[in-house]
Amino acid sequence: MGYRVLVVDDSKLARMAVAKALTTLHPDWTRVEAANADEALVLASKDAFDLAILDFNMPGRDGLHLAAELLKLKPALPLAVISANHQVEVVTRAREVGATFLQKPLTDKAMGEFLAAAADRLASP
C-alpha cells in the first residue's frame, strides 16, 4: 500500500531530489511538500501523513526542532533528518529525538534503507 510522505526543505531543488528518489523507490507513495517548519506544521495539523523527511538547516526553526514538534503530534512517526554536513552534534541530536540521519547529496541506497525500515515499522502495529 502507498504511504504519504512529508518532505520539508527550503530549497526546491533539494525537494526535487528527494521526490526523484522517492518516485524511483516507491512509485505508489504520495508526498506533500513544505518549504519551512511553519508550513510543515500547518500541513501536519490539517492532514495525516505516515513518515517525514526534513532538512536540518532551514530559515526559522531547524529540522530537529521541527522533528520534535511533529513527534508531539504523532509519537510513532518515522522521521529522517538530512543535512549536507555530517556534524556529530546533529547526528547525535537526531538519534536522541528518534530520527534517522541522512547525508546530502542523498543516495538511493541510504534513502532506500530508511524507507524500508520506516515501512517495516508502519506495517507492524
Partner 1 sequence: MNEFVEQFLIEGRELVAQGNDDLLALEERPDDRERLDGAFRAFHTLKGAAGIVDFVAMSRALHAAEDVLSAVRSNTAPVTPALINLCLACLDQVSVWIDRMRSNGEVPADADAEADDLVRRFATLASPDSAPLAPHDAADATKRAEASTGLSAIGRELLEAQKLMLSEPATEDAAAARLESASRIAANVLRHHGRSLDATDLEGPLQSSLVAGNAEAMIEAIDRILEGLAERPPEQPGTLAPQAPEATLRVDVDRIDTLVRLTGELLIAKNAIGHSAERAADEGDPRALAVALKNQHLALDRLVSELQRAVFSLRVLPLQHAFQRFPRLVREMATALRKPARLMIEGATIEADKTIVEAISEPLLHVLRNGLDHGLEEAAERAALGKPATATIHLRAERQGEHVVIEVEDDGRGVDVARVRDVARQRNAAPEAAIAAMSDEEAINLIFAPGFSTVSQVTDLSGRGVGMDIVRNTVERLGGRVSVSSQRQRGTTVRFTLPFTVMMTQVLTVEAAGQVFGVPMEAVVETVRVGRSAISPVGAARAMVLRDRTLPVIDLGQALGRGARAPEGDTNVLIVAVAGQLGGLEVDRLGDRMDVMLKPPEGLLAGIPGIDGTTLLGDGRVLIVLDLGEIFGNADD
Q: Output the smallest distance, CB 23 to partner 1, in A.
A: 13
Full 3-state SS string of the chain: CCCEEEEECCCHHHHHHHHHHHHHHCCCCEEEEECCHHHHHHHHHHCCCCEEEEECCCCCCCHHHHHHHHHHHCCCCCEEEEECCCCHHHHHHHHHHCCEEEECCCCHHHHHHHHHHHHHHHHCC
Window 38 to 67, contacts with partner 1 (CB under 8 A): 57-59
Q: Quick one: which of 26, 31, 93, 104 contacts partner 1 (CB under 8 A)?
A: 104
Mask: binding to partner 1, 63-102, rule CB under 8 A, as x and -?
---------------------xx-----------------
By CB under 8 A, which span of 10-18, 23-31, 43-51, 71-79 interacts with partner 1?
A: 10-18
User: What residues line the site for partner 1 (CB under 8 A)?
Assistant: 10-14, 16-17, 57-59, 84-85, 104-105
